[in-house]
Chain A
Amino acid sequence: MLKVKSLHKTYQGPDGSFHAVRGVSFEIPQGGFFTLLGPSGCGKTTTLRCIAGLEDADGGSITIGEQLVADPTNGVHMPAFRRNIGMVFQSYAIWPHMDVFSNVAYPLRVARPRPSHDEIETSVMEALKLVGMESLAKRSATKLSGGQQQRIAFARALVRQPQLLLLDEPLSNLDAKLREQMRFELQELVARTGVTTLYVTHDQAEALAMSDQVAVMSGGQIVQSGDPRAVYERPQDAQVADFLGIANFMPGRISALGDSKSLSVKLDGSIGVLRLPDLNSFAPETAVRVVFRPEDVVMRTAAADDTVEGRIERINFQGTVSECHVRAGETLVRMLIHPSVRVQRGDQIWLAVDPTRCVVFPAESVALR
């Protein structure tokens, strides 16, 4: 449905140029929900704006449906208003001089040929019903709460049944509780309309929960993409792992290679040896970092041959779970324990890490933390 091929965009600023998007390519199938995930400044919003036609790409091509909309090397720049899209802005961009109905009716009223009065009325009320706002049709746009503005923005984006829905961090201006509720509503809405959706966010929880496909962006490029679970469980490099919230990076060396599918890592400070599946074909004695999440560590009260020795430095009780900081050698390991486990600061304990949940990266690829 949407095809983006080696997209490039450079901004000319007063202090030199900034290469914001460097060769981004991806495709979204009809009805797919695709998320660009990344920290601010990674080029995800610029990519979205190039697809919308609000920025002119400098290189590459964009095809929406069967329509080539941008191909700068061949002089193709279709302006935003001719592209068959709907977009929800971060600020919602509800026009303050119109009431709710006129805001939603706008895309139909400016369409050529213009639909009849009755058709507009029907489509607008349908769109408002879709977002549960049909009772507010006559309300002035300046008298809406954040959540209401957001629903109106969705109704406006969907009212002309676009081929492609573009969402630019639509949940980031809502408070935490409303954000969660709107996330479910949004999922429901997209599923019901079946519209192909491109979503841009810096919130990994949103991305993982809603998407069919996730692409993690950094420095203007897509560094990893795929099924959300695959990206979450097998980050391709330390940067992605870090961005996805993996907190533990333990230094060590490859001590033994088993058969072609496993290896052993001797952790620095002789605090233990981990036997892990080998996915990267390391050479012996390579310095590496073993990377894993706090929820994939288990606490043992006695040593075993797959455990790592450590001492509890701090326990943060957080209600449903306690976060525990364990000093293992030079490294501080974060782990989660059930609050009923009675341990205290200074206790000696042993850590067991689920080997299938670990990822090993070469040490030089991991910036010092």
Chain B
Amino acid sequence: MAGKLILAGAAVVAIYLISVPLIFLLGTAFRGPADFLPFEPGSRWTLDNLWDVYLDPALYRSILPNTAIFAAGSVTITFVIAFTLAWLVERTDLPFRSAIFTAILFPLLVPTVVLAIAWTLLCAPNAGWVNVAIRGLFGVQGPGPINIFTMPGLIICQGIASTPFVFLLLCAALRTMNPSLEEASNTSGASPIVTFFKITLPVLRPGILAPLILATLLTLEQFDLPLIIGFPARVNVFTTRLFFDLNAEDQLPKYGSAAAVALLFLVIAILLLALYNYMVRRAERYVTMTGKGYRPTRLKLGRWRAPALVFVGAYLTFAAVLPALVLLWTSLTGGVTWSEATLSWTAYEKLTSDPRFWKAVVNTFIVAACSAGIATLVGALISWQILRTRFIGRNLLDFISFLSIGIPSVIAGFAVMLLYLSLPIGVYGTIWILVLAYSYRIAVTTRLSRAALMQIHAELEEASSISGAGWLDTIRRIVLPLMTPALLSSFLLLFMVGFREFTIPMMLQSDDNWVLSVVMWRLQNDRQTGEAAAVGTLIVLFVIPIIFLMRRYLLAQQNND
């Protein structure tokens, strides 16, 4: 009985966290006038929002093409870099593979807003390090020659920032391929190059396309770089359009038209998600029976070893080394030019004497830990329910939890805002609204705990029942201990996702609920570059040990190097 209550509770919480805000969003799109909350007195049902948004030529002249160019361009760059890196690390005798794998996790875990600000410090047309260095080398006059505040600048930065995530997915795809498929081609008389194009690539195709679709989906929802690099470049994509609809300087928030814009992108996201799901299923069909483990023979790079190392080195320099160095340097000098620079702790002293900084530190950790805890617990319970019970609604539950991957966080943040602006329970403007908003990412846990549950044979639980244990005892003494590793990794992943989060706290920010990423952006926006860089440096220092923790967790699944 208690068991049923707990399960029902978890299902209700999951459905509430994911779908109630979305239903509010849907409603808002059809309520008017645009600057009214959906159920505020004086609002009514209307199609005005849709007409306003979809009959506006600006949508077709700037937002849609910009978003498409941004997504297509950066996904292409991500893919070229990530596939090359994954192939080098997994299938060749590249030296320092293990260290390279670890280093690539750096841009995955450091918040994108930190990288974005570091890149503007590196490539800003006037004082950017790279530009100063180029001008010095070639004796040209400034500003430039590189201007990061352009569409190509935005695309390249986003491409580099998204690379590690796709890299990890491609490594997994390369690793699950049965090496004798390629060997069979060799013994059939096909050369390595013919084998690569006729066997390796086609066999991997579904395993490559699925990450490609996921990368497109994730690029669509990117907000950090479009705000920090795209906005000064006057490149408006869907996420920034939504944000400025709600945070315009000279007018009231336009809830209705923002919701109407969100609707279109929600539909696109769900279509991509369906395509992704289809590709994953095809990829699973392609995983043929594997023989007992001969490791894939690694291609000998020979004279290509040096160019390969240069490529990896260039990526890591721009994605990890230079950003870390420029932040450290700027935090110690206050962002003045080289000749005037003197090292001092001023920025750190200012920062640590400001109570708002400490509050943001506490907020960041509370929100990340609470949301990771809620999502892990709820996700684990509903995946148990989906796999082990015959409860009628379990397919719906499965669908809704899977949906959470596809909801762009800017839409999630907006939907949560609408819900708690309308519900008078007093969470709006506190850190608890952030906890509620972050917790919708249940799919991370359901996937990990589902994989873990499939490993736990149902007979282990049945044996516990036959020994006289009730449902709660079985869960507590058998299922939970066996699932602990999966739950811990899910918690760690979600904690880092929460720690990096910038979009949702920007959407829902008030004076009381700043988190570190928001603080850094505000400082940078107020031209307090030194303090902003100090926040960035502290975040990097916190992330570095986590990288090694993640590496150990990822190694456990990999044992390849």
Contact with B along A89-121 (1 / 0, CB 8 A): 111111111000000001100110000000000
The answer to whether A106 touches B178 (Cβ under 8 A) is no
Q: Given A93-B178, A97-B205, A156-B184, check contact A81 B286 (CB 8 Å).
A: no
The answer to whether A96 touches B189 (Cβ under 8 A) is no
The answer to whether B180 touches A91 (Cβ under 8 A) is yes
User: Looking across the interface, which residue of chain B has its beta carbon closest to that of A80?
Assistant: B186
Q: Show 8 residue pairs from A and B whose CB-CB distance is below 8 angstroms, ordered by the A residue.
A: A52-B187, A80-B183, A89-B184, A91-B178, A93-B183, A93-B288, A94-B288, A110-B188
Cβ of B154 to closest chain A Cβ, rounded Å: 36
Q: In the bound complex, what is the Cα–Cα distance between A49 and B181 (angstroms)? A: 14
Write the residues of chain B forming the contact surface with A, with a CB cutoff of 8 angstroms.
178, 180-181, 183-192, 194-195, 198-199, 202-203, 205, 285-286, 288-292, 294, 297
Known: A81-B185, A160-B189. 8 other contacts (CB 8 A): A54-B297, A79-B191, A80-B187, A81-B187, A81-B195, A96-B285, A97-B203, A146-B289
Asked whether any CB of chain B lies closer than 8 Å to the CB of A166, the reply is: yes
Asked whether any CB of chain B lies closer than 8 Å to the CB of A287, the reply is: no
* B181: A residues at CB distance < 8 A: 93, 95
Q: In the bound complex, what is the Cα–Cα distance between A341 and B183 (angstroms)? A: 55
User: Looking across the interface, which residue of chain A has its beta carbon closest to that of B202?
Assistant: A97
The answer to whether B288 touches A96 (Cβ under 8 A) is yes
Asked whether any CB of chain B lies closer than 8 Å to the CB of A277, the reply is: no
Asked whether any CB of chain B lies closer than 8 Å to the CB of A250, the reply is: no
Q: Given A81-B189, A106-B185, check contact A93 B203 (CB 8 Å).
A: no
The answer to whether B183 touches A54 (Cβ under 8 A) is yes
* B203: A residues at CB distance < 8 A: 95-97
The answer to whether A91 touches B186 (Cβ under 8 A) is no
Asked whether any CB of chain B lies closer than 8 Å to the CB of A30, the reply is: no
The answer to whether A86 touches B187 (Cβ under 8 A) is yes
User: Looking across the interface, which residue of chain B has its beta carbon closest to that of A140?
Assistant: B285
User: Looking across the interface, which residue of chain A has its beta carbon closest to that of B195?
Assistant: A81
Q: Given A54-B186, A93-B184, A97-B202, check contact A173 B289 (CB 8 Å).
A: yes
- Interface size grouping (class) on chain A: 35 or more
Cβ of B189 to closest chain A Cβ, rounded Å: 5
User: Looking across the interface, which residue of chain A has its beta carbon closest to that of B194?
Assistant: A110
User: Looking across the interface, which residue of chain B has its beta carbon closest to that of A85?
Assistant: B187
Asked whether any CB of chain B lies closer than 8 Å to the CB of A349, the reply is: no
The answer to whether B286 touches A87 (Cβ under 8 A) is no
The answer to whether B189 touches A95 (Cβ under 8 A) is no
* A252: B residues at CB distance < 8 A: none
Contact with B along A146-181 (1 / 0, CB 8 A): 100000010011001000001000000100000000
Q: Given A91-B289, A96-B203, A173-B289, check contact A110 B189 (CB 8 Å).
A: yes
The answer to whether A107 touches B178 (Cβ under 8 A) is no
The answer to whether B184 touches A87 (Cβ under 8 A) is yes
B190, B205, B297: which contacts A110 (Cβ < 8 A)? B190
The answer to whether B199 touches A95 (Cβ under 8 A) is yes
The answer to whether A91 touches B288 (Cβ under 8 A) is yes
Q: In the bound complex, what is the Cα–Cα distance between A90 and B181 (angstroms)? A: 11
Asked whether any CB of chain B lies closer than 8 Å to the CB of A142, the reply is: yes
Asked whether any CB of chain B lies closer than 8 Å to the CB of A313, the reply is: no
* B190: A residues at CB distance < 8 A: 81, 106-107, 110
Q: Given A95-B203, A110-B194, check contact A87 B187 (CB 8 Å).
A: yes
User: Looking across the interface, which residue of chain A has its beta carbon closest to that of B297?
Assistant: A54
The answer to whether A89 touches B205 (Cβ under 8 A) is no
* A166: B residues at CB distance < 8 A: 187
* Chain A stretch 230-269: residues in CB contact (< 8 A) with chain B: none
Asked whether any CB of chain B lies closer than 8 Å to the CB of A55, the reply is: yes
Cβ of B48 to closest chain A Cβ, rounded Å: 51
The answer to whether B297 touches A91 (Cβ under 8 A) is no
The answer to whether A54 touches B199 (Cβ under 8 A) is no
Q: In the bound complex, what is the Cα–Cα distance between A367 and B375 (angstroms)? A: 58
The answer to whether A81 touches B291 (Cβ under 8 A) is no
The answer to whether A90 touches B184 (Cβ under 8 A) is no
Asked whether any CB of chain B lies closer than 8 Å to the CB of A60, the reply is: no
* A93: B residues at CB distance < 8 A: 178, 180-181, 183-184, 288
Q: In the bound complex, what is the Cα–Cα distance between A222 and B186 (angstroms)? A: 27
* A97: B residues at CB distance < 8 A: 202-203, 205, 286
Q: Given A97-B203, A156-B184, check contact A90 B189 (CB 8 Å).
A: no
* B189: A residues at CB distance < 8 A: 81-82, 107, 110-111, 160
The answer to whether B188 touches A79 (Cβ under 8 A) is no
Q: Given A52-B187, A81-B187, A110-B190, check contact A89 B297 (CB 8 Å).
A: no
* A95: B residues at CB distance < 8 A: 181, 184-185, 199, 202-203
Q: In the bound complex, what is the Cα–Cα distance between A160 and B187 (angstroms)? A: 11
3 A-B pairs with the lowest CB-CB distances in the bound complex, closest first: A91-B291, A107-B188, A93-B184
Cβ of B197 to closest chain A Cβ, rounded Å: 11
Q: Given A55-B297, A86-B187, A110-B190, check contact A142 B180 (CB 8 Å).
A: no
Asked whether any CB of chain B lies closer than 8 Å to the CB of A228, the reply is: no
Cβ of B506 to closest chain A Cβ, rounded Å: 44
* B291: A residues at CB distance < 8 A: 89-91, 173
